[in-house]
Chain A
């Protein structure tokens, strides 16, 4: 399964994590996550995923974007990631990911987003 295909499973993964939704309950935001060349638009409402749209959306306004290479996400989602691939900021420090836009909602809910973006780690490598 490609990294983008794994990320497309996010709705189920988040639906099964009531604690993460609880921690994000104050959060309403539209943001964009790029998995390699694939872009995903997330509409988050009260910590839950209202919609996850895959593919380019012309002129779609987003609060912020997080972009990572396929390699970055593949490594990040290994069951036990290697040093330097195990955290969003480790990825950005090595130049494999970037954060752009209005970062305020990201920083206000940083642990939520780190945990959200790590959810595909729960899928086994064969899924």
Chain B
């Protein structure tokens, strides 16, 4: 019997981010408008595997999903052992722009979820002209913290298990168990302190209150989609953010939580296909 392959191809890309050499893993599938996908904190590009395998999307888009440095199969930069990992607005923005530049993507669309959604807002604020469209999933200018991140990285608590257990509540009760547990598995596999380091950006460095008012959707269209079961970035957080941005399109997704593309791919498809149709 012939081998059964999925359509995405994975490769390692050599590039510089903020002057440091990096080796970044990414997967891609399809042809057409480049669509760069950004995973959530403490996870990796596998969250987008259903999009990468969706012919209705890859027929019109070249879908690319990379593992952030420190995540998935992208290694941390040399010398990582000598310090604590902390993602910042500057380093995250630099990584995305470096990836797009290295692959010579022509005004790509970017879709990010959670911290990926927050940084998409920053792209809209600071670099809108470089992008064709921006899609922020589970994003807001600011969110109220709901636990102490000190628990995420300490020797007496299993980091992977506590990260997964914390975020498990952000998944909607309706999401299929297989997809729920695959989503959690990625959290269980994160490197020590990486989820915590990502949340530094989310909680300390990435407060975009006031700044979102600078977004000009005439330069680059912006779409916000948030699941109703996401109590980290609540529907109200997203609606409050949207109310400050003229021309933004916002939608609250029913029966979906914080990880729409991986926790319930079929349901997410109903919401994202119409958005992608507008972009293409």
Give me the interface of A with B, judged by CB distance under 8 Å.
80-81, 83-84, 86-90, 92-94, 103-104, 107-108, 110-111, 114
B152 to chain A, nearest CB (A): 9
By the criterion CB–CB under 8 Å, are A81 and B144 in contact?
Answer: no
Does B166 belong to the interface (CB within 8 Å)?
yes
Excluding A80-B173, A93-B231, A111-B165, 16 further A-B contacts by CB distance (< 8 Å) are A83-B228, A83-B231, A83-B235, A84-B231, A86-B172, A86-B229, A87-B169, A89-B147, A89-B231, A94-B231, A108-B158, A108-B162, A110-B161, A111-B168, A114-B168, A114-B169
Chain B: interface secondary structure?
A: loop
Contact: B164 with A111, CB < 8 Å?
yes
- Tell me whether A110 and B146 are in contact in the complex, defined as CB-CB below 8 angstroms, given that A86-B173, A89-B231, A104-B156 are known contacts: no
**A88 with B158: in contact, given A83-B229, A93-B231 (CB under 8 Å)?**
no
- CB contacts (< 8 Å) of A93 on chain B: these are 144, 146, 231
- Please provide the 5 A-B residue pairs with the shortest distance between their CB atoms, ordered closest to farther: A87-B169, A110-B165, A111-B165, A90-B231, A93-B146
Give the residue of B144, B146, B161, B231 whose beta carbon is less than 8 angstroms from that of A111.
B161
Interfacial chain B residues near A84, Cβ < 8 Å: 231, 234
Roughly how many angstroms separate A81 CA and B231 CA in the complex, as a whole number?
13
Is the Cβ of A92 less than 8 Å from the Cβ of B146? Answer: yes
- Cα-based distance from A1 to B144 in the complex (angstroms): 35
Identify which of A81, A86, A108, A111 contacts B157 (C-beta below 8 A).
Answer: A108
In whole angstroms, what is the CA distance A91 to B173 when docked?
Answer: 15
Summarize A's interface: helix, strand, loop or mixed. Answer: helix
Interface centre among A90, A93, A107, A108 (most CB of B within 10 A): A107
Interface residues, chain B, with chain A CB atoms under 8 Å away: 144, 146-147, 151, 156-158, 161-162, 164-166, 168-170, 172-174, 228-229, 231, 234-235
Q: Which of chain B's residues have a CB closer than 8 A to the CB of A103?
A: 151
Query: Are B146's CB and A114's CB within 8 A?
Result: no
Contacts of B173 in A (CB 8 A): 80-81, 86
- CA of A92 to CA of B146 in the docked complex: distance in angstroms? 8
Among residues of B, the one whose C-beta sits closest to the C-beta of A93 is B146
Q: A93-B146, A108-B158 are in contact. Are A80 and B169 (CB under 8 A)?
A: no
The residue on B at minimum CB distance from A94 is: B231
Minimum CB–CB distance for A16 against chain B, Å = 19
In Å, the complex CA distance between A87 and B146 comes to 12
A80 to chain B: closest residue by CB: B173
Which residues of chain A are near B170, meaning CB under 8 Å?
A: 87
Residues of A within 8 A of B172 (CB): 86
Min CB distance, B173 to chain A, in Å? Answer: 5
Q: How far is the CA of A81 from the CA of B173 in the complex (A)?
A: 8
| A88 / chain B contacts, CB cutoff of 8 Å | 169
- Given A80-B174, A107-B151, verify A89-B169 contact (CB < 8 Å): yes
Interface-centre pick from B144, B161, B229, B231 (highest chain A CB count, 10 A) = B231
Contacts of B162 in A (CB 8 A): 107-108, 110
For the complex, give the distance between the alpha carbons of A94 and B231 in Å: 9
A83 CA to B226 CA, complexed, in Å: 12
When C-beta atoms are compared, the residue in chain B nearest to A113 turns out to be: B165
Bound-state CA distance A88–B146 (Å) is 11
Contact residues in A for B235 (Cβ distance below 8 Å): 83
Q: When chains A and B are docked, how far (Å) is the Cα of A93 from the Cα of B164?
A: 18
Of the candidates A80, A89, A92, A114, the one having the most CB atoms from chain B within 10 angstroms of its own CB is A89
Please give, as numbers and ranges, the residues of chain B lying within 8 Å of A89 by CB-CB distance: 146-147, 166, 169, 231
Query: Shortest beta-carbon distance, B86 to chain A, in Å?
Result: 22
Which residues of chain A have C-beta atoms less than 8 A from B234's C-beta? 84
Task: Determine the chain A residues whose CB is within 8 A of the CB of B158 once the complex forms.
Answer: 108
The interface residues of chain B lying within 8 Å CB-to-CB of A94 are 231
> Which residue of chain A lies nearest to B164 when distances are taken between CB atoms in the complex?
A111
In the complex, what residue of chain A is closest to B163 when comparing beta carbons? A110
